Homo-oligomer: A and B are copies of this chain.
């Protein structure tokens, strides 16, 4: 099931491209880059402790950096390298859907870095990182967020509006929440919401990494647009295209 679905993702995205690459790994590592030992060493983490770190770190380095640091800082303490030298704070750039452009939610972009550094790149036949990333994006798009309640929320102390984005995009996720709540982007309530979303993603990511460590990761890929629709896409086609969803060109036999 895994290899079948993985092949579908693969074939949809790049056709046979990967095959040509596998043999060239040595040439790659012959350059200045050191060969990585994948998967990186991993010890199961406490999802609630991780979420608390992510919530508080959001106020320093925002969504992507907060998710990465919530996990890598704990593993750097428990294990050391290669986590200790990872340039976590540079990933502040993932904020606001990458430099504020509203593209992919930084919490997901950061989670993708974490999952694929720890589990390794699928180019080496290590597919858990790809599966965790795509299924975490599916979970994010279809979950009423935020789900994690911090011990000491900085706002929305009584209650918080929760919304479902049906999309992994920052602009759509935060936009639907702002519309439902009436709070501005720069409001303490919106900032607390995004910090809770980062914490919720970090919590869910740790659940998936712990399951992977235990050999119990659900390997069914939940969303395969390239193979199913012939284009890399989200799930909410009608939201942007309306009733007129274009059909992707077919491969000429």
Contacts and interface: CB of A to CB of B under 8 A. Distances in A.
A100 B225 contact: yes
A84 interface: yes
A171 B101 contact: no
A20 to B, nearest CB: 6
Contacts of A137: 98-99, 101
A148 interface: no
A179 interface: yes
B121 A185 contact: no
Contact of A13 (B11, B74, B96, B239): B96
B121 A61 contact: yes
Interface in A56-112: 59-62, 65, 69, 72-78, 80, 82-104, 108-109, 112
Contact of A232 (B100, B113, B225): B100
A54 interface: no
Interface in A211-236: 223-226, 230-234
Nearest to A112: B93
Contacts of A96: 13, 226, 232
Nearest to A95: B13
Contact of A191 (B14, B179, B231): B14
B100 A108 contact: no
Nearest to A240: B240
A133 to B, nearest CB: 5
Contacts of A186: 11-15, 226, 230, 251
A115 B86 contact: no
A39 B243 CA distance: 49
B116 A108 contact: no
Given A116-B92, A171-B232, A174-B232, A185 B12 contact: yes
Contact of A122 (B60, B85, B92): B92
Nearest to A223: B101
Q: Which 10 residue pairs of A and B lie closest in terms of their CB atoms, listed nearest first?
A: A32-B76, A21-B60, A102-B232, A32-B77, A103-B104, A96-B232, A240-B240, A90-B116, A184-B251, A99-B134
7 contacts: A12-B100, A14-B62, A32-B74, A33-B84, A87-B117, A93-B133, A96-B226
